[in-house]
Chain A
């Protein structure tokens, strides 16, 4: 059984946000517009957190791209009264849109704040509708949605592998964020496969996970920034 996971190398990441736009275009995520964005209602399945510290000239700034952590012990699924969200057998924390009734317990119980509520029906200008991805399911107002590791791409890759009568290979599946990343900071793959790149990177000495102390067992790993050594 596959166990999908992701590694984000913060030494490579430049905070460019290509992953964010790629994710939104791939997953038909509408922009919120000025009014709702200012209220924090913009949906970013992949988000970028920025932190500025210190005083001039001793300033530090860090960027962290934050998708859903796809926790092995997800705090969000256990609070859903209608089982609209669950961890699927391959470890993806998925959302069943027709079942969701919008109580938002999952949103408030997610320590990573990566679940997004549809406060409004998606409002696209008609012209943009031509550019929607037909592989992604419709969402309506009043339900919750989130990153699903581009599950439509996983489905497609499996389809192709099945047609070619072979197993999925490492690198067959690339979520939109990983595919576009200019500095190749994002790696996706099977954490159960000891030969996969993502497995190897997750064991790096630089690897860590967000809020590890909560015991949520995220499947998104980060690699911390390096330092230059003279010599």
Chain B
């Protein structure tokens, strides 16, 4: 692509630059100076494509480079996720690339763990250190003692790591990228058998009932939802859709909504069922959809002739608006109004955020919200919720497992996921501190960290840090010196998202299949860093035998080409090419591939559930628990008890309201801790970017710091004034921060944004503000198998000058 002042082809420029070595050692003439007023200094410019990694949205980038260095990021106009647009995080991306505190080469620990003394070593040394260690572990028949904690995997990097773990022989892979909003997924799973997030057909939605979905701050997908909001408002001439925001916190989304409904935290299921009650009672629901595509709405008889309670019976019996008002604090007439509007303004959708799902009753709450969508038939139709379709990637050839691997894989997972009391859990990293420390069921020998930072992101991180002392060897692949990487023994630094080959599968995307491709924007990374995909392939080769055989590729680029060949062969979508080479060239040039046809109405014909239908009554859950009851010879009710579910019998398989469990009794800890993510840094990965630090909290004009939001009246009763330093204390920890009186705070809650409180992670992030995770007590939704992030009660009191 040639747009610059001088005509120069990107490839040619890359070739020219290829002579340069790492770092600043570029040929003098290629560095650019800034002109003085009226001056013009010629430069060479080129544009290339990329994919952002500041959040999981996966937006397409159009990168402007001058004299070889990227200088500005724009959105890729053709890319369906962002269509030329970027959010503030995306715009700040170059501060990731140019971060002065990036890890510049492999490091070997010197001195004690966490002290920060390192020896620079070569890549050959670093890779052989890991390989030799992993070899020894296999020789000792202990491959299961390799633990991999992964976080922001994108595209096939997750598959690559899974493949490595399987052929190596360890069941201990924690690679679930959805940790923070798993409740939503579990709800979808029990009602629709769906394991992914659903897409929203924003273009034609008329009415959005949002149960705490953080649409305008940090949601999945942040960009699609921002764009969707714009479309809802002014996308259709003469039409303006309605957004109802239901949540205790007056968020940005609430402020931009047409109606904000404050609700008692943790009671969303009751409200959703109250709305359902009125719709059913007044026959306001889509009877065609319910009769054709759903199961368990009416009472039903099983094969043995036993009658079971249906959704309708339960909801009519227990969730009249008046009953619901008492639980939720939402007035009876509002419940009725919502029911009427929700059914009258179709296509309407009900969506949710992490504040609903990440509760001890989160799975049922999400099921209830899914049921609202079924009642208006908004599943798999225009203006409704869609199933994210995937590109037809070619599968890698089958991997090889030798007897050592087989033995390792037969070991139970260290966290006990998939067994009581977490029968449906994929993984529970939050249990790791105790498991590792006690060495139960076995000790961990080597830990890999890939794009995850548990010492920042896991509650009670101090316990985790202690547990890490029990792990003999820790290897990190992080590009940045984050809290956990600082604790490693060996660092094999990855580059940033501008410097490597990587595919990117947005989840959720726009419904139709789409994937993005990251290509290196520079001829080589700025520092002596390597794509972890390449490194993993090299380690596999070094391990030899069945493992090496399972990784036949030279590097990640080659491995990716193999999967993408499937997309080429499908002969569909945005790139048409005669041969694969041409297809690949087109893909690099376009920055991704997409196929804008979505087959409306196909998914609803066959849900991935035992009944093949949308399940008001979850046969999925019933089947899972009965299998468990056979295996452990326990009756269903005692299993329900182990899952801390109050409901008995059929009710347990229907969406219903369970009282949320809160930790810390009301007398000692009178306030409920609500934490939230800001548009600027979301969960905190953006804290090392000064542009984002400087605009951190716009609603209170806060920057470079944390604060705690308190309702002004609540504050007054405690003698706390705006700006006072206060202590916030829960059963497991206490932190000190500035109080901000914010009228948008529920009188019974305090609100703390995520993002700050780093104890490492570079000069801009370290040592400012607080991390709400330091207050959080761990409790679980046992049924869904995830952490309940919203169960902590706290007390606050003024900090006295000079007293710690």
Contacts and interface: CB of A to CB of B under 8 A. Distances in A.
Interface of A: 9, 11-12, 14-18, 20-22, 24-26, 28, 31-34, 37-38, 42, 48, 50, 52-57, 59-63, 96-98, 125-128, 130-134, 136-138, 176, 179-185, 226-230
Contacts of A57: 250, 260, 262
A99 B66 CA distance: 29
B88 A25 contact: no
A130 B69 contact: yes
Contacts of B745: 56
25 contacts: A14-B226, A15-B698, A18-B86, A22-B91, A26-B72, A48-B698, A50-B701, A52-B700, A56-B250, A57-B250, A59-B255, A61-B255, A125-B98, A125-B100, A127-B100, A130-B98, A131-B98, A134-B32, A134-B43, A136-B34, A137-B39, A138-B35, A138-B36, A180-B90, A182-B227
Contact of A60 (B37, B84, B255, B701): B255
B37 A16 contact: no
> Which 6 pairs of residues, A with B, have the shortest CB-CB distance?
A183-B230, A61-B255, A21-B91, A34-B704, A182-B226, A130-B69
A16 B711 contact: no
B444 to A, nearest CB: 37
A34 B366 CA distance: 41
A12 B690 contact: no
A88 B36 CA distance: 19
B88 A52 contact: no
A22 B429 CA distance: 37
Interface in B21-75: 24, 31-39, 41, 43, 66-67, 69-75
Interface of B: 24, 31-39, 41, 43, 66-67, 69-75, 82, 84-88, 90-92, 94-95, 97-100, 216, 223, 226-227, 229-230, 233-234, 240-242, 250, 252, 255-256, 258-260, 262, 341, 679-680, 690-695, 698-701, 703-705, 711-713, 742-747, 768
Contacts of B680: 17
Given A25-B94, A125-B98, A228-B241, 5 more contacts: A9-B234, A12-B230, A48-B695, A125-B100, A183-B233
Given A12-B233, A56-B262, A18 B98 contact: no
Contacts of A24: 691
A137 B252 contact: no
A52 B258 contact: no
A219 B679 CA distance: 29
Contacts of A32: 694
Contacts of A14: 216, 226, 229, 252, 256, 679
Nearest to B251: A61
Contact of A182 (B85, B711, B742): B85
Contacts of A11: 233-234, 240
A92 B36 CA distance: 20
Given A62-B255, A131-B94, A137-B36, A50 B75 contact: no
A63 B698 contact: yes
B37 A137 contact: yes
Contacts, number: 208
A106 B705 CA distance: 31
Nearest to B84: A179
Contacts of B252: 14-15, 61, 63
A207 B746 CA distance: 34
Contacts of A60: 255
A126 B84 CA distance: 30
Nearest to B329: A57
B35 A137 contact: yes
B85 A28 contact: no
B508 to A, nearest CB: 17
Contacts of A184: 85, 230
Nearest to A176: B72
B43 A227 contact: no
A218 B434 CA distance: 63
B27 to A, nearest CB: 14
A223 to B, nearest CB: 9
Nearest to B701: A50
B679 A17 contact: yes
A17 B744 contact: no
Given A17-B680, A59-B743, A185 B694 contact: no
B69 to A, nearest CB: 4
Contacts of B88: 16-18, 20-21
A130 B233 CA distance: 39
A56 B711 contact: yes
A128 B230 contact: no
Contacts of B241: 228
A50 B744 CA distance: 13
- Chain A CB within 10 Å, residue with most, of B33, B250, B746: B250
Given A21-B92, A31-B691, A184-B230, A131 B70 contact: yes
- Chain B CB within 10 Å, residue with most, of A12, A62, A130, A136: A130
A131 B67 CA distance: 10
A12 B234 contact: yes
A19 B258 CA distance: 24
Contacts of A131: 69-72, 94, 97-98
Contact of B229 (A42, A97, A183): A183
A179 B74 contact: yes
A33 B691 CA distance: 9
